[in-house]
């Protein structure tokens, strides 16, 4: 048999995750307690009303037919939600539901890119960004996110000949893995460049409801000129703890969304209708539900960041997302080796920064997926292990 693997796929491997997984399994098999802070799935529950809307809709046989597109009630709710939540009127935009931003971002390159186009991606960055670019056969130019720049892009450092070939840039704040938040000025600069060089901005807004210290997130589409040059992926997954339901949206510039819809119409028959009803209920929830959850995340952030500092690990506070981005403690340089050692000595699992790109080396990412008391216990275990010198 010829190799079943396309050259496109040969780029992907299980790599260091497989090695860490193997180690985790060995520890579990030997009876060790594991504290898994590597996964990005919230441990909070979806709201009762969301589960009820979903399960009621599951009892109607009509809802098992191909959805094909968004039901009118979902379109109405999403439009009104963007106004209530972000003060953005999307009546002059187009939008489409996607099976999660992951799926949407993974496919958008197919709709927008030709071979030879350049896609600008953050390093470190969320891995699906690369997939979208590879599928579109684009060349990737990584723009570094550095601590000294508050993890914001330095647009002036990107060469003009790269801008000229750029088809789209992905921006994503609050940002996974680095836990940084954006300024409006950064988006204003990006929009001016997009207009000058004719490229598209894709904003990934997955963590709008996990932001700390009284900061408020915003929609990219609320910035002047954004709708002329870009779109936003808005995810319901983390705000409403429905990561498994797979529904998010791409919204913004009509031409871009039209191209994306044309692509999607070739392979996608729409989001399962009960999931659409669940999404309507989620967007209808009182804001206090999300605010309470945000406060809980902040308690977790505080327990981890202050806790690690109290044991001599100099970790800055994350400003947003459900992740904390930590420079390796003194004396360590290799994030994979450090994660391995941490797991071996303490049973605590985190993600090596190098998994998110070259500039992620020297860091690890912890996910805030345990209650504060449990996080305090984990910090004590790390402290007692002597791994932080």
Ligand X SMILES: Cc1ncc(COP(=O)(O)O)c(C=O)c1O
Question: By the criterion CB under 6 A, which residues form the site for ligand X?
Answer: 40, 100-102, 126, 172, 176, 204, 206, 235, 237, 243, 248
> What is the DSSP code (8-state) at residue 361?
T
Instruction: Count Cα atoms within 13 angstroms, Cβ side, for 58.
Output: 9
Q: Could you give the CA distance from residue 238 to residue 41 in angstroms, rounded to a whole number? A: 8
Q: How far is the CB of 366 from ligand X (least distance, A)?
A: 14
Q: How far is the CB of 271 from ligand X (least distance, A)?
A: 12
Nearer to ligand X, 206 or 364 (CB): 206
Q: How far is the CB of 29 from ligand X (least distance, A)?
A: 28
Q: How far is the CB of 246 from ligand X (least distance, A)?
A: 7
Q: How far is the CB of 7 from ligand X (least distance, A)?
A: 26
Nearer to ligand X, 243 or 385 (CB): 243
Q: How far is the CB of 116 from ligand X (least distance, A)?
A: 26
Nearest Cα neighbor of 155 from 118, 110, 185, 198 is: 185
Q: How far is the CB of 176 from ligand X (least distance, A)?
A: 4
Please identify the residue of the shown chain whose CB is closest to the bound ligand X.
100
CB count within 10 Å of CB 231 equals: 31
Q: In what order do the strands lie in the sheet with 323-327?
A: 323-327, 363-367, 351-352
The answer to whether the beta carbons of residues 151 and 171 sit under 8 Å apart is: no
Q: Could you give the CA distance from residue 356 to residue 363 in angstroms, rounded to a whole number? A: 10
Nearer to ligand X, 58 or 131 (CB): 131
Q: Could you give the CA distance from residue 47 to residue 63 in angstroms, rounded to a whole number? A: 22
Q: How far is the CB of 304 from ligand X (least distance, A)?
A: 18
Q: ∠214-216-222 over CA atoms, to 5°?
A: 165
Nearer to ligand X, 151 or 163 (CB): 151
Pairing of strands 139-144, 118-123: parallel
Nearer to ligand X, 163 or 233 (CB): 233
Nearer to ligand X, 346 or 370 (CB): 370
Nearer to ligand X, 141 or 249 (CB): 249
Q: Is the dihedral of CA 327, 330, 336, 340 positive or negative?
A: negative
Nearer to ligand X, 99 or 167 (CB): 99
Main-chain phi, psi angles of 211, to 5 degrees: -150, 145
Q: ∠379-385-386 over CA atoms, to 5°?
A: 105
Question: How distant is the alpha carbon of residue 339 from its chain centre?
Answer: 22
């Amino acid at each position: 048999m010829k190799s079943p693997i396309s050259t496109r796929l040969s780029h992907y491997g299980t790599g260091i995750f497989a090695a860490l997984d193997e180690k985790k399994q060995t520890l579990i098999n030997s009876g060790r307690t594991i504290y898994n802070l590597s996964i990005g799935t919230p441990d909070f529950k979806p709201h009762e009303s969301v589960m009820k809307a979903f399960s009621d809709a599951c009892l109607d046989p009509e809802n098992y037919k191909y959805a094909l597109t968004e039901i009118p009630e979902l379109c109405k709710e999403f439009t009104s939600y963007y106004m209530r939540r972000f003060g953005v009127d999307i009546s002059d935009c187009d939008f489409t539901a996607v099976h999660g931003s992951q799926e949407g971002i993974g496919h958008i390159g197919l709709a927008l890119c030709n071979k030879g186009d350049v896609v600008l991606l953050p390093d470190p960055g969320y891995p699906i960004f690369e997939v979208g670019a590879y599928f579109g056969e684009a060349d990737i130019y990584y723009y570094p996110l550095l601590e000294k720049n508050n993890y914001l892009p330095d647009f002036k450092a990107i060469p003009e000949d790269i801008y000229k070939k750029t088809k789209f840039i992905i921006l994503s704040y609050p940002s996974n893995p680095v836990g940084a938040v954006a300024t409006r000025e950064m988006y204003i600069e990006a929009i001016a460049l997009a207009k000058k060089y004719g490229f598209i901005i894709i904003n990934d807004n997955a963590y709008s409801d996990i932001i700390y210290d009284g900061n408020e997130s915003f929609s990219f589409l609320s910035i002047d000129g954004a709708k002329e040059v870009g779109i936003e992926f808005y995810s319901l997954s983390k705000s409403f703890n429905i990561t498994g339901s797979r529904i998010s949206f791409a919204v913004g510039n009509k031409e871009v969304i039209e191209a994306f819809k044309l692509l999607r119409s070739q392979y996608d028959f729409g989001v399962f209708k009960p999931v659409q009803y669940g999404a309507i209920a989620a967007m209808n929830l009182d804001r206090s539900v999300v605010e309470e959850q945000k406060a809980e995340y902040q308690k977790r952030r505080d327990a981890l960041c202050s806790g690690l500092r109290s044991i001599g690990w100099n970790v800055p506070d994350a400003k947003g997302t459900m992740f904390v981005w930590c420079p390796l403690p003194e004396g360590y340089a290799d994030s994979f080796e450090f994660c391995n050692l941490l797991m071996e000595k303490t049973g605590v699992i985190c993600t090596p920064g190098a998994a998110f790109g070259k500039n992620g080396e020297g860091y690890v990412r912890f996910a805030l997926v345990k209650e504060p008391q449990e996080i305090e216990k984990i910090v004590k275990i790390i402290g007692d292990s002597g791994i932080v010198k």
